[in-house]
Structure 1
Amino acid sequence: MRFFRLLGPLDVVLDGRHVRVPAGKRRVVLAALLVKAREVVGVDELVELVGGTRNALQTTVGRLREDLGVPELVLTRAGGYLIDVAPDEVDVHLFGRVGAEEALGLWRGRPFADIGSDRLERDHGPALTETYLAVLEARVEEDLRGGRHEQVVGELRTLTRQHPARERMWAQLVRALHHAGRQAEALQAYEDVRRKLAEELGVDPGRELQLAHQEVLRADNRPRARNDLPGDIADFAGRQADLDEVLAAVPAGTVAITAIDGMAGIGKTTLAVRAAHRLKERFPDAQLFVDLHSYTEGVEPRTPADALFALLTALGVPAKDVPDELDARRRCTGPRWRTAGRWWCWTTRAVRRRCGRCCRAAGW
C-alpha cells in the first residue's frame, strides 16, 4: 500500500510504512511532482520552485530517491522528471473524486502546510480550500435537513470565526440557532455578520443570508403548547350536571374566571381537571395547573407572587428574568402573554379569596 498526503502536513506511506522526507528542497520537488502525478514536470519549472542550478536540482532528485527508498518511483524523462504514482494514490487528486464523507476524512489541514513553497500554496491551495469548504457546507446542510440543528451550532460558530466572509456558513448558523429555539442568538448572529460585512467590505448580506434572517423574523415565536394538567380519570360519573355548569361558564372567545365551591374532599379537583381536559382544545397555547396548597398539610399556601412565578416560568420566561416584586411580575403577564392564550382559574371555597388575589395580581 502506498499513499501520499499533501492536505495538511506531508505524509508518505510506501509498502505500509511511513517514510520521512526531510524539510527543504526535496519536499518541494516531491510535492511538485505529486501535484502532476504521472506527468512530466520540466526542469526549468522545478529550478524556479527550489532555486539554484540544474546540477543542484539533479542532486536534490537523487537524494529524494534515496529518501523514498524506491529509486524507480521518480523517473527521468526528456526535459524533466515524472513520479510514477497514480492520481488516486495522492490525496489532492482523490479529494475531488470521492463522496463528501471520504473527502472530509482526507482533509487534515492547510494544503502544503509544511512543504515550504509559497508558490505551491498560492497556486493550488485556494482551489483545494474552496472545494473543502463547499463539501463541508453541503454536509452541514444535510445535518440541518436531518433536524440536527443543536448539534451543528458549535461547529458553525467555529467555522464562522475561521471564515468570517463565508456567508453561507453564517446563514446556516442563523438557521441552526433558529430551529434550535434560540431565536435571540440567531438574530444576534445575523447582526454580527451584517455589521462585519458593512464595516470590512462595504457590502450588504447576500440573498441566502437575508432569507435566513427573514425566516427568523417571520417565525411564530410564541411559547410552544404546554400541558401541565393532571391526568383525567376514566371512571368519572355522577357529576354531569356540575360539569355542564362549569363548561357553560367558560364561553368561547372570552376570558373567564371560574370558581368551584365546596368542602374539602368532595371532588372539586377531579371535577375541575375533567372540565379542563374537555376545554383544552379551546386553549391551544397552554394548559397550566397551579396547586395553591390550601389543604396540603405542612405546606404554606401559595402567595400571589409565588403563583405568578410558577405561571411565568411555565410559559417560558427564564427564572432569572422574573422580577421579585408582585407588581413587576404582573406586568410580565401583559400583552405578549395575554394574547398567547386564554386562562381559566378554578378554586375551592377555602382559597377563593386567595385565588381572586392571584387573578387580580396577574391582571386577568
Structure 2
Amino acid sequence: MKRCELRFGLLGPPVLYDRGGDGPVIRPVGSPKARLLLTALLLEAGRTVSVDALKEALWGDTRPASAHASLHNHVTRLRRLLDDPSRLRAEPQGYRLRVEDGELDIHLFDAHLAAARAAHARRDWRGTLRACAAALSLWRGDPLAGVPAELGGYALTQRLAEARLLLLEWRFDAELALADGRLDALLPELAALAAEHPLREAYHRQLMLALHRDGRRAEALAVHRDLRRRLVEELGVEPGPAVREAHLEVLREAEPGTGTPAPRAA
C-alpha cells in the first residue's frame, strides 16, 4: 500500500490536516458533534460503524427523536470538511471512513514506536533518537482530548500514554549514551519526569546517571535513596537490577560517561 500524507489526528484533540508548503497543517474541527463523529469513525478507521453506534457516540442515552435525520446532517457537514468527500461512504448498516496507510497520526506513531523499540534493543542510539523524535513530534497533548471516555477510546489512550513514556525512556537512554558530558539540558526534564512518576524506576535511574556524570554525585545518591524508600514503603520491593547497576556506578565514582544505559524492554 502506498504511503500517504497525514490527514487525521487523534494524538490530542481530534483534528484534520491540510497539505502545507512545509508539511501538514492542522485544521481544528470546530463543531463538537463533528469531532465526536470524526472520532467514532477514526477509532474504526476503514471499517463500517453502525448507525446505532454513531448515534450513541453523538448523543449517548439522550438521543433526540430526530437522531436519524440529525446524524445524516452531521455526516453531510463532516464530508464538506474532508479533503475528499467520497472518503466517507454510506454502507447498508452505517458509515465507513476511508483512511489510507500513513494518514492517521496514531498509525504513524505506532510505526515510529516499533522502529524506536528495535533501534533501542540493538543499542543503535542515533537510530533510537531519530525514531523517538519522529513519534513524539506527532504528540499534541492527551490523545482524544475533549472526547468522552464512553466513546470507547479509554484502552487506546492508556496504551498511547504508556507508549509515550517508553519513548521518553528510550530517548534518554540514547542521549545519555551519546551525551559526551553535555548533560545540563537533560536534567530539568528528567527531574520533572521522575517527580511526576515517583515509582517509575527508569527515569530515576537515568536521573541518577545524568547527575553523577555531571559531577553531582551526592544528588545522584539522594535520588537513589528516595526511590528505594518509596519502593519499599509503597510496593514492598527493592529497586530492580538496572537501578542497582546505576547505583553501583555512582558508588564507584566511575568516570562520567563510561557506563551504558540498560535496555528497556517493551
Structure 1 residue 157, shift from structure 2 partner: 0.7
Gaps of 5+ in 1: 222-364
Provide the C-alpha distance between the structure 2 equivalents of 1:134 and 1:20, rounded to a whole number of angstroms: 28
Partner of 1:7: 11
Structure 1 residue 79, shift from structure 2 partner: 1.8
Structure 1 residue 151, shift from structure 2 partner: 3.0
Partner of 2:43: 35
Partner of 1:81: 95
Residue 173 (structure 1) aligned with residue 177 (structure 2): no
Residue 71 (structure 1) aligned with residue 78 (structure 2): no
The one-letter code sitting in structure 2 at the alignment partner of 1:8 is G
Partner of 1:347: none
Query: What secondary structure is seen at the aligned counterpart in 2 of 1:96?
Result: helix
The alignment of Structure 1 onto Structure 2 pairs a total of residues equal to: 221
Largest Rg, 1 or 2: 1
The farther-off stretch of 21-30 and 169-178 is: 21-30
Partner of 1:197: 231
- Is the CA contact (8 Å cut-off) linking 2:88 and 2:96 kept in structure 1? yes
Provide the C-alpha distance between the structure 1 equivalents of 2:101 and 2:147, rounded to a whole number of angstroms: 19
Residue 45 (structure 1) aligned with residue 50 (structure 2): no
RMSD: 2.5
Provide the C-alpha distance between the structure 1 equivalents of 2:83 and 2:138, rounded to a whole number of angstroms: 25
Provide the C-alpha distance between the structure 1 equivalents of 2:229 and 2:239, rounded to a whole number of angstroms: 9
Q: 1:90 to 1:69 in 2, by over 3 A?
A: closer
- Is the CA contact (8 Å cut-off) linking 2:208 and 2:224 kept in structure 1? yes
The farther-off stretch of 176-185 and 78-87 is: 78-87
The one-letter code sitting in structure 1 at the alignment partner of 2:105 is D
Structure 1 residue 172, shift from structure 2 partner: 0.8
Identity of aligned residues (%): 39
Provide the C-alpha distance between the structure 1 equivalents of 2:6 and 2:214, rounded to a whole number of angstroms: 45
The one-letter code sitting in structure 1 at the alignment partner of 2:49 is V
Provide the C-alpha distance between the structure 1 equivalents of 2:193 and 2:240, rounded to a whole number of angstroms: 18
Q: 2:190 aligns with which of 134, 156, 172?
A: 156
Residue 219 (structure 1) aligned with residue 253 (structure 2): yes
Query: What secondary structure is seen at the aligned counterpart in 1 of 2:53?
Result: helix
Q: 2:222 aligns with which of 185, 188, 194?
A: 188
Describe the superposition over 1:221-278 as per-residue Cα deviations: whole angstroms up to 9, x where unpaired: 9xxxxxxxxxxxxxxxxxxxxxxxxxxxxxxxxxxxxxxxxxxxxxxxxxxxxxxxxx
Structure 1 residue 119, shift from structure 2 partner: 4.1
Describe the superposition over 1:35-86 as per-residue Cα deviations: whole angstroms up to 9, x where unpaired: 3322222333333333226614334323322344743231112322111221
Q: Which has the higher contact order (CA 8 A, sep 6+)?
A: 2
Provide the C-alpha distance between the structure 1 equivalents of 2:254 and 2:147, rounded to a whole number of angstroms: 53
With normalisation by structure 1, the TM-score equals 0.55
Provide the C-alpha distance between the structure 2 equivalents of 1:38 and 1:124, rounded to a whole number of angstroms: 17
